[in-house]
Amino acid sequence: MQNLPELKTGRPRIEQGFLRPIPEIEIPFGLVEGAKPGPCLIVTAGVHASEYCSIEAAVRLMHTDPQKLCGTLLVLPILNVTGFRARSIYVMPEDGNNLNRMFPGQPDGSAGQRLAHWLVTEVFPKADAYLDLHGGDMSESLTPFTIYPGGHAPSEALAAAFGLPISVGSQSKSNTISAAGALGIPSVLVEIGCNGLWDEASVTAMMDGIGRIMHHMHMTEGATNPVIAPRLMTMSVPLAPVSGLWYSAKRLSDPIAIGDRLGEIRDVFGTVLATIVAEKPGEVLYQLTTLAVNAGEALVGIGIPVETTS
Ligand SMILES: [Zn+2]
């Protein structure tokens, strides 16, 4: 099946199967149409194929009870399905590119560009809201936060409804949520979980946030946890200037001042090749945890409170 199933038939149901968005791959989908009419929430995971907490949450979400749902939930739990089988970090094996840098895609480009184009033209327009689930890849630790397309107020409000304490306004023009936000769809990227692990606490935190989103959209009834307004941030991400061995000097959530030493890259004999110094103040939201580092890779994500940037 290349096309999506009908999202609104008036018949409560769970439908599962596979789609072929591009000739190279088949991806799984789960559709839950609720017993009552309502909006359509689209949830993707596995853009980064080894961020397992997000994938497991999406897998569980496909079993939502239609009788307790108003509207339609469409879940694409593993977009980079070849990468999932290969336990790939960051990239799609078909083209070696990071799918979350390929949006809005191209109809005649690489596999990732064509998959992105399919999402932008065939999937996102059907959403009343869109969640893209991520987390710390096998090479990253992080403290939970949401990301929304910076300047898009409906997305900022949706991120607040997810209920994590920090929300980052992204300036990217090439990721999932920027492409969906450009279509006017409230869109949020969620980061929960570290190092590819999918412990129960992290998966539950992801599910709880999705539950708050569905409640916010009037897709479910009943009480949810109270939401505290998140601290709004932008992000500074120093990249590795050289390849080598990465020695971080900071821990998650550490406060960062301008000039702080974030870590250094050494060669295998211990010679310091580069010292990474903070150029912006903030706090550590994520960082690379592998000893191996390649030039151009992200070393640390520093969240910068919005009030200090204005
Ligand atoms: Zn990711």
Mean per-residue pLDDT for 238-249? 98
- 3 state DSSP class of 78: coil
**Gap from CA of 221 to ligand 1 centroid (Å):** 30
Sign, CA torsion 42/90/201/14? positive
**Gap from CA of 48 to ligand 1 centroid (Å):** 5
Token pair for 122: 């065939």
Q: How does residue 2 score in pLDDT terms, banded at 50, 70 and 90?
A: low
Are domains 13-229 and 234-309 of this chain identical in fold? no
Which element (helix H / strand E) includes 287? Answer: strand 282-288
Asked if pLDDT for residue 145 goes beyond 70, the answer is yes
Question: Residue 3 has what pLDDT?
Answer: 77
What fold is seen in the domain 13-229? Aminopeptidase (3.40.630)
User: Please, what's the b/e burial string for 26-60 (b: 16 or more CB within 10 A of its CB; e: otherwise)?
Assistant: ebbbbbbbbeeebebbbbbbbbbbbbbbbbbbbbb
**Gap from CA of 125 to ligand 1 centroid (Å):** 22
Residues with Cβ within 8 Å of 197's Cβ and at least 6 positions away in sequence, in order, are 52, 53
Residue 25 near residue 82 (C-beta atoms within 8 A): yes
Asked if pLDDT for residue 20 goes beyond 50, the answer is yes
CA R_g for the chain:
19
C-alpha 205/C-alpha 228 separation (Å) is: 15
| Mean confidence (pLDDT) of the chain | 96
Q: How does residue 309 score in pLDDT terms, banded at 50, 70 and 90?
A: very low
> How far does the chain reach from its first CA to its final CA, in angstroms?
49
Question: Residue 226 has what pLDDT?
Answer: 77
Domain ranges of the chain: 13-229, 234-309
C-alpha 246/C-alpha 173 separation (Å) is: 29
> Residues with beta carbon < 5 A to ion ligand 1?
48, 51, 134
Q: What is the CATH number of domain 234-309?
A: 2.40.50.100
Minimum mean pLDDT among 17-21, 127-131, 226-230, 282-286: which range? 226-230
What is the percentage of the chain residues whose pLDDT exceeds 70? 98
Question: Residue 241 has what pLDDT?
Answer: 98
Q: What is the pLDDT of residues 158-173, one digit of tens each?
A: 999 999 999 999 999 9
**Judging by beta carbons within 10 Å of its beta carbon (0-12, 13-18, 19+), is residue 213 exposed, middle or buried?**
buried
Asked if pLDDT for residue 310 goes beyond 50, the answer is no
Residue 168 near residue 178 (C-beta atoms within 8 A): no
Asked if pLDDT for residue 22 goes beyond 60, the answer is yes
C-alpha 69/C-alpha 220 separation (Å) is: 5
**Gap from CA of 8 to ligand 1 centroid (Å):** 30
Mean per-residue pLDDT for 249-273? 98
Q: Is 298 left (phi over 0), alpha (psi -120 to 50) or beta?
A: beta
**Gap from CA of 222 to ligand 1 centroid (Å):** 31
Residue type, 231: R
Token pair 């569980």: residue: 60
C-alpha 71/C-alpha 7 separation (Å) is: 9
**Gap from CA of 11 to ligand 1 centroid (Å):** 34
